[in-house]
Amino acid sequence: MSWISETEILKDRQKLNGDLQPLTNSVMLRVLGSPRGNYDQTCRPVTNPRINRLIVTADVGPFSVTGLKPVVERLKLAFADIRQKQPAIHAALGNAGMLCCRYVRGSRASISNHSWGCAIDLTLEGRLDSRGDGKAQKGLIAIHPIMNAHGFFWGAAFSTEDAMHFEICRQQLLEWHEGGLLGEKAELPAEANRLALGDRGPDVEWVQERLNRLYGLDVEEDGIFGPATRAAVIEFQIRQGLATDGIAGPKTMAALREASPQ
């Protein structure tokens, strides 16, 4: 093993992806629909014909993958860039999984973005980076700016650090949607500002932190919009005289920003 698979502590993890945003279940379900009718922690196949039509298997350079066609095509470009700029790391890359219909690890509400073939877990020199230790393999640290440049959000910024994980960013997916590359186009009013059950990421963590600061609700600040977070959002909406749908849409998000602690 070389320095490539050695690990080091990550600093300022929330800033690692710049302006890139992670995918949310709200966006994925609106844009593509549900990959299948049931989920658990086991990898299961896609059963939704609409999504299956967009799934491809292709060689992306260091290995072959199965995933959503535009994501696979973008991954091939990213790996070609890594091969040019970081050839030793490119030679050490391995694939720990891309298409896999399941819940996010440890969740019973959040559908993993692997379920749509929009995320990939990488190994280096045959080693998988440990999840949740606040560290990352040095090779992943070196290539993450290249992956970012090709529109991939790095999972090291999740509340539970997941440095092995890269997923296409929300902005890129919505751009493909607007361009008609994902099939039938559905209207997505204010979708980028909508957080609901199953979503995860830094924006969800901010909502949780804000609810705790405002009302001391003791919501777990794990970045996953689960049933407890939904209940806390409903409580906030009741106190603010908003529609009690348990969704952090534009009006609820604005109220969260403007409310004062009680």
Output the tens digit of pLDDT for each of the chain's 262 residues: 899 999 999 999 989 999 999 999 989 998 999 999 999 999 999 999 999 999 999 999 999 999 999 999 999 999 999 999 999 999 999 999 999 999 998 888 899 999 999 999 999 999 999 999 999 999 999 999 999 999 999 999 998 999 999 999 999 999 999 888 998 766 665 555 689 888 888 889 999 999 999 988 889 998 889 899 999 999 999 999 999 999 999 999 999 999 888 7
Residue 106 backbone class (left: φ over 0; alpha: ψ -120 to 50; beta: rest): left
- The correct answer on CATH 1.20.1070 for the domain covering 3-178 is no
Question: Which pLDDT value is given to residue 193?
Answer: 64
User: Given this chain, do its domains 3-178 and 194-258 carry the same CATH topology?
Assistant: no
The sign of the dihedral angle between the CA atoms of 217, 220, 225, 227 is: negative
Q: Round to whole Å and give the CA distance between 256 and 235.
A: 12
**Amino acid letter, 232:** A
Q: Kind of pairing, strands 165-168 and 64-68?
A: unpaired
Question: Which pLDDT value is given to residue 201?
Answer: 85
Domain boundaries, the chain: 3-178, 194-258
Question: What's 257's DSSP letter?
Answer: H
Q: Round to whole Å and give the CA distance between 171 and 148.
A: 12
Angle among Cα 24, 107, 25 to the nearest 5 degrees reads 15
Largest Cα–Cα separation, the chain = 59
What pTM value is reported for the model? 0.86
- CB atoms under 10 Å from CB of 201, counted, come to 23
- CATH of segment(s) 194-258: 1.10.101.10
